[in-house]
Amino acid sequence: MKEPLFTHDSLFLLFSTFLNSIPVGYINVVPLVYLAEIGYDPSTIGIIYSASTIATTVGMIPCGLLADRYDKRKLLMVGTFLPCVSYAIFGLTLDSSLLTIASIIGGVGFAGGLGAAIVSPSLIPMLADSTSDKKRSTLFGVLQSAWAIALAIGSALSFLPSLFNSWFAQSERSAHFESYFIMSGIAAVALVPIFFVKDRRNSLPFSQVRKPPHSSRFKVAVTSWSRIGQFSLVFAFSGFGLGVLVQLLPIWFTLRFGASESTVGFWMSVSNLATIVSIPLIPRLVGRRGSISTAAATGIVATFVLGLMPFTAAFEMAAALFTIRSVAVGVSWAVIQSYMMGVVGENERATMVGFAYTAWGVGLSLGILIGGELLGVGLLTIPFVAAVISYLASSAVLPLFFRKVKPLGEVTLSVPRMSD
């Protein structure tokens, strides 16, 4: 009997992630540009956004350990709710101290604060458990695309402040505040699908999903420390590259080309939508080359394209390159997440996510602080140099560590070329 790609649980988990990611796409663009326009120094903006990554870093390991021992679904619900609070605070004040607190609670930017620290170690293992090993890479590709489409929708909604300003004669400040409350409401709705996810302790979708005995439920022995350490290094390099440049890219577009928030939002939306192309590519590439070769190669391609951006003379050209880069990253990131879940035991998956994403958060927070300082003093090219070096290091260590390690369910196929 053919195993389905989507199950009851995976569909609701994907839908919740999709809803919860729409505000992330919006907050990744609008506040960055708006705060810069009203006089905030890029280094101050960097501090606000880096606070989110620091909170993620501090909370990820404890939450990962908890998720492997207790109820992942309940933790997922708590983490999904916290961004509602953060976006509401953004809708009430421009005080940098309060915005920093909001960043810590539910996150702004890619890291996601304490909310993401709770969500990620629960969501990723739950999604991996909801399908078979053979379908896992494709399902994580769908997750990556659902996330990217939601980011695209959020970025595209960057026109909301100008719409409220022109249609309802609201001030710039009021228009932005209203939009943040809308994002808070969308995040709240993301809680609803989680109520329909089955309790994993009582219902397993496939026979190969093994449950530790009741007596060991609260005492999980971690045996994969070497792999956890290796993935942590990979994620740390990737996080630094993301923080030093990509997280602050809307500011770079504004400083380099004078682009408005709606223009930046449109192109960020396009780049995220383009990642849909990665879904059919993932099973074919993994089938032919294996997970590690696919992840490393697409990561290097993405880095090369990113490195071309500072040499462009027009905003549209730089944005188009970033769109190409997004497709390659969509493949690489989905494959890495799936592979990571396939090389450790099921009772260690949340712990693996906790440690790897903590390293990612450390790199991300350090990168944002450095990138914000560099942009603040007008150094617009050095962040690209730092990001390229870091991303290349992340891709290079993958085959060094894992070229001989096959995850569960991976079979490298010999796929004939069209000319054969």
What's the average model confidence in pLDDT over 95-116? 87
What's the average model confidence in pLDDT over 168-182? 90
**Residue 6's pLDDT is what?**
80
**Residue 213's pLDDT is what?**
42
Tens of pLDDT, residues 385-420: 999 999 999 999 999 999 888 776 555 433 333 333
**Residue 408's pLDDT is what?**
61
The domain that holds 279 is classified in CATH as 1.20.1250.20
Residue 5 falls inside a structural domain: no
Residue 407 falls inside a structural domain: no
**Residue 190's pLDDT is what?**
95
Q: Which residue has the higher pLDDT, 135 or 339?
A: 339
Whether pLDDT at 179 is above 80: yes
The rounded mean pLDDT for the chain is 85
**In one letter, which amino acid is 308?**
L
Tens of pLDDT, residues 26-56: 988 888 888 888 888 888 888 888 888 888 8
**Residue 389's pLDDT is what?**
97
Q: What is the 3-state secondary structure (H, E, C) of the chain?
A: CCCCCCCHHHHHHHHHHHHHHHHHHHHCCHHHHHHHHCCCCHHHHHHHHHHHHHHHHHHHHHHHHHHCCCCHHHHHHHHHHHHHHHHHHHCCCCCHHHHHHHHHHCCCCCCCHHHHHHHHHHHHHHHHHCCCCCCHHHHHHHHHHHHHHHHHHHHHHHHHHHHHHHHCCCCHHHHHHHHHHHHHHHHHHCCHHHHHCCCCCCCCCCCCCCCCCHHHCCCCCCCCHHHHHHHHHHHHHHHHHHHHCHHHHHHHHHHHHCCCHHHHHHHHHHHHHHHHHHHHHHHHHHHHHCHHHHHHHHHHHHHHHHHHHHHCCCHHHHHHHHHHHHHHHHHHHHHHHHHHHHCCCHHHHHHHHHHHHHHHHHHHHHHHHHHHHHHHCCCCCHHHHHHHHHHHHHHHHHHHHHCCCCCCCCCCCCCCCCCC
**Residue 29's pLDDT is what?**
81
Residue 2 falls inside a structural domain: no
Q: Which residue has the higher pLDDT, 12 or 420?
A: 12
Q: Which residue has the higher pLDDT, 388 or 154?
A: 388
The total number of structural domains in the chain stands at 1
Whether pLDDT at 157 is above 50: yes
Residue 248 falls inside a structural domain: yes
Banded model confidence at residue 217, pLDDT cuts 50, 70, 90: very low
**Residue 205's pLDDT is what?**
40
Banded model confidence at residue 166, pLDDT cuts 50, 70, 90: confident
What's the average model confidence in pLDDT over 362-375? 89
What's the average model confidence in pLDDT over 326-335? 90
Q: How far apart are CA 250 and CA 329, in angstroms?
A: 18
Residue 418 falls inside a structural domain: no
- Identify the domain containing residue 150 by its residue range: 15-196+223-402
Tens of pLDDT, residues 112-149: 889 989 998 899 899 888 888 788 888 888 888 888 88
Q: What angle do CA 220, 14, 203 make, to 5 degrees?
A: 45
Tens of pLDDT, residues 187-204: 999 999 999 998 554 333
**Residue 211's pLDDT is what?**
44
Residue 202 falls inside a structural domain: no
Residue 28 falls inside a structural domain: yes
Q: How far apart are CA 160 and CA 383, in angstroms?
A: 30
**Residue 210's pLDDT is what?**
41
What's the average model confidence in pLDDT over 74-102? 93
The two structure tokens encoding residue 177: 């505040």
Residue 62 falls inside a structural domain: yes
**Residue 203's pLDDT is what?**
38
**Residue 199's pLDDT is what?**
57
